[in-house]
Amino acid sequence: MNFSFRLATIDDTEAIRVLAENTFRDTYAALNTPENMEIHVAKNFSSEAILADLQSLKNQYFVIEFETQIVAFAKLVKEHSTKGLEGKRVVEIERFYIDKNLHGQQLGRKLMDFCTNWAKENSFETIWLGVWENNPNAIQFYKKMGFEFLDKHVFVLGTDMQTDFTMKRDL
């Protein structure tokens, strides 16, 4: 399969929105209430929210395409620190989504390498992320990618206060 990597543009708004919502629902719907899922999706995955993210200079989106379809993306937030990384030049991976039909194709590794190389080229010292404590597959993947546990923080899904582990990788 021939995949291409590129920076996202505002023309990708709807494709990113659909992939984000579908991936989020596939991953978390069974573990959360429908009401909290709807609140979260409406707030974070509306066309307006994705477009605003894409237009913000603090964000950097990367997409992977297969043929002409976006099948994965990462959203990075520049200079967004967390407890334990104060005073460092950091970038957060806020979203890291891959079409479930393409799991096992090494796209996660390739996308993470793409993000990490971009962060190094842009002189960031550390890349970090938050991952839900109840998502063991993602935690294992991030460990394989060289991330280590840093701390915890609260992630609000709808009205539910959840615990995310923060993980970091020095560059």
* Residue 49, Cβ density class (10 Å: 0-12 exposed, 13-18 middle, ≥19 buried): middle
d(CA 102, CA 105): 6
DSSP label at residue 145:
T
Q: Which residues pair with 167 in a beta bridge?
A: 129, 149
pLDDT values of the chain reduced to their tens digit, one per residue, 171 residues: 789 999 999 999 999 999 999 999 999 999 999 999 999 999 999 999 999 999 999 999 999 999 889 999 999 999 888 999 999 999 999 999 999 999 888 999 999 999 999 999 999 999 999 999 999 999 999 999 999 999 999 999 999 999 999 999 999
pLDDT score for 47:
96
Amino acid at 97: Y
Q: How many CA atoms lie within 13 A of 112 on its CB side?
A: 18
pLDDT score for 31:
93
pLDDT score for 81:
87
First vs last Cα of the chain: how many Å apart? 30
DSSP label at residue 32:
S
CATH code for the structural domain at 3-128: 3.40.630.30
pLDDT score for 104:
86
Tokens 């701390």 belong to residue: 151
Radius of gyration of the chain (CA): 15
